């Protein structure tokens, strides 16, 4: 495959990373298409009210997912990159920390449900879906393959897992099975991925049985990741609290319609995660070897995020009405909301790139401040807008919250230059500068 000349990344150093990113993107795009088609089929079968009920359970579990993962994934990639000889100790320690955190989340979810339940969603559904946390502990294998720049193996697992999952849901629809069967099916999605990760890891000459827990390493990982744990909780709040608030304020039917908006809009959010996590080793190498190249790579990473997110936002904005023709007529009124919500993705893309910079510079604590600010903005705006505007109010609140979070660092002197760099990318200033230079 011919590797393109991406400014800021020398071709020889980039070739390995670009190839890995391409493989990961192929897997994610394949998974995305499968998930979108199946989600449409499920939405058509369940109708708005039942879709709203199951969405409440999924949202509740997602709100605790950051606590269950302990914010370890990004630090594990960095740790494995720096100390590959400690692979089994790093993976084993991270895995058991995640398992313990996942189990601890179950009683916390019960307590939170007593305080602020998901209206009309039984706690039994949440309890079933909470098994997702333990299964996701095996996602640490994904971090290992990222550190080895071998995401193609994870791509294979995800495509196969999503095909099996899609087949199961389509069978449930064909057999006209009750709602609780779909709850089990959603939980099974993550179990299938966990099994696939384990098989792939074993087949590549590694052994899960060599993993071992190390107390001092656990303390080290947690001492670095705790800001990301809090930040992740805040991210979960400002990414998903709108769905829970719509369910409790506007009812399950409105929540079911909004769930289709969120699914279609947020489906693209995997792109920055794949690209940024794959290019992160190259950025770390530049930071170590050449500060000028490091700054250039960061700017070009921001540019790349905008080049990818803007076309998606534009296309979805004008095609939203056509997209909703795939659903039953009861969902059609959600199309304008999708046209607004999709623009939040631009700020998700930029924020993902900037998060890697903060980690590289050991400014992880700042992620807590900015995501906390974003969460507060989202909750306040949802409370103000949902009662009057329904799901359109939630979409507007989400868009403003994402933008506020991404550019919050403009108020932090030591990193405000990064905000300027993101503005240059967002308003295509750096693109025009490159065109003029050429």
- Residues of the chain under the 50 pLDDT cut: 1-14
In a domain, 28, yes or no: yes
Classify burial at 176, counting beta carbons within 10 Å of its beta carbon; exposed 0-12, middle 13-18, buried 19 or more: exposed
pLDDT score at 342: 95
Note the pTM of the prediction, 2 decimals.
Answer: 0.80
pLDDT score at 8: 47
In a domain, 345, yes or no: yes
pLDDT score at 37: 87
pLDDT score at 3: 43
Range of the domain at 68: 11-437
For the stretch 413-422, pLDDT in tens is 888 888 899 9
In a domain, 4, yes or no: no
In a domain, 91, yes or no: yes
Classify burial at 410, counting beta carbons within 10 Å of its beta carbon; exposed 0-12, middle 13-18, buried 19 or more: middle
In a domain, 2, yes or no: no
Residues in the chain: 438
Q: How far is CA 201 from CA 91, 114, 117, 155, 170, in A?
A: 12, 40, 39, 13, 29
For the stretch 245-255, pLDDT in tens is 899 998 889 99
The DSSP string of 336-349 is HHHHHHTTHHHHHH
Q: Using an 8 Å Cβ cutoff, are 308 and 269 in contact?
A: no
Total domains in the chain come to 1
In a domain, 1, yes or no: no
In a domain, 3, yes or no: no
pLDDT score at 22: 58
pLDDT score at 24: 58
In a domain, 385, yes or no: yes
């Amino acid at each position: 495959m011919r590797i393109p000349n991406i400014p800021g990344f020398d071709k020889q150093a980039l070739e390995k990373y670009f190839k890995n990113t391409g493989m990961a993107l192929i897997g994610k795009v394949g998974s995305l298409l499968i998930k979108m088609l199946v989600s449409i089929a499920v939405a058509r079968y369940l109708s708005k009210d039942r879709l709203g009920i199951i969405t409440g359970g999924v949202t509740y579990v997602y709100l605790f997912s950051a606590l269950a993962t302990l914010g370890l994934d990004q630090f594990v990639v960095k740790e494995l990159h720096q100390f590959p000889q400690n692979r089994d100790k790093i993976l084993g320690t991270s895995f058991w920390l995640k398992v313990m955190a996942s189990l601890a989340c179950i009683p916390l979810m019960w307590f939170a449900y007593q305080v602020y339940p998901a209206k009309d969603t039984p706690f039994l559904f949440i309890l079933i879906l909470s098994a997702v946390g333990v299964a996701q502990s095996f996602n640490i294998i994904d971090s290992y393959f990222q550190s080895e720049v071998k995401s193609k193996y994870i791509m294979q697992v995800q495509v196969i897992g999503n095909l099996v999952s899609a087949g199961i849901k389509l069978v449930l629809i064909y057999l006209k099975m009750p709602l609780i069967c779909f709850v089990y099916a959603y939980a099974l999605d993550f179990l299938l991925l966990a099994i696939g990760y384990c098989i792939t890891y074993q087949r590549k000459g590694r052994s899960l049985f060599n993993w071992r827990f190390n107390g001092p390493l656990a303390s080290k990982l947690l001492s670095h990741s705790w800001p990301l744990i809090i930040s992740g909780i805040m991210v979960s709040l400002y990414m998903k609290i709108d769905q829970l608030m719509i369910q409790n304020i506007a009812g399950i039917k409105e929540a079911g319609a909004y769930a289709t908006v969120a699914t279609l809009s947020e489906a693209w959010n995997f792109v920055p995660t794949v690209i940024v996590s794959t290019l992160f080793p190259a950025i770390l190498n530049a930071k170590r070897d050449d500060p000028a190249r490091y700054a250039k790579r960061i700017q070009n990473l921001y540019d790349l995020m905008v080049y990818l997110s803007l076309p998606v936002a534009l296309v979805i904005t004008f095609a939203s009405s056509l997209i909703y023709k795939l659903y039953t007529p009861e969902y059609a009124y959600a199309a304008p909301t999708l046209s607004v919500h999709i623009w939040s993705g631009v700020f998700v893309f930029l924020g993902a790139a900037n998060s890697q910079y903060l980690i590289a510079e050991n400014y992880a604590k700042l992620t807590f401040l900015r995501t906390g600010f974003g969460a507060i903005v989202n909750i306040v705006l949802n409370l103000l807008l949902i009662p009057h505007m329904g799901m359109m109010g939630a979409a507007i609140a989400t868009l403003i919250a994402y933008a506020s979070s991404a550019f919050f660092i403009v108020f932090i002197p030591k990193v405000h230059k990064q905000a300027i760099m993101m503005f240059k990318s967002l308003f295509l200033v750096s693109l025009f500068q490159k065109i003029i230079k050429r």
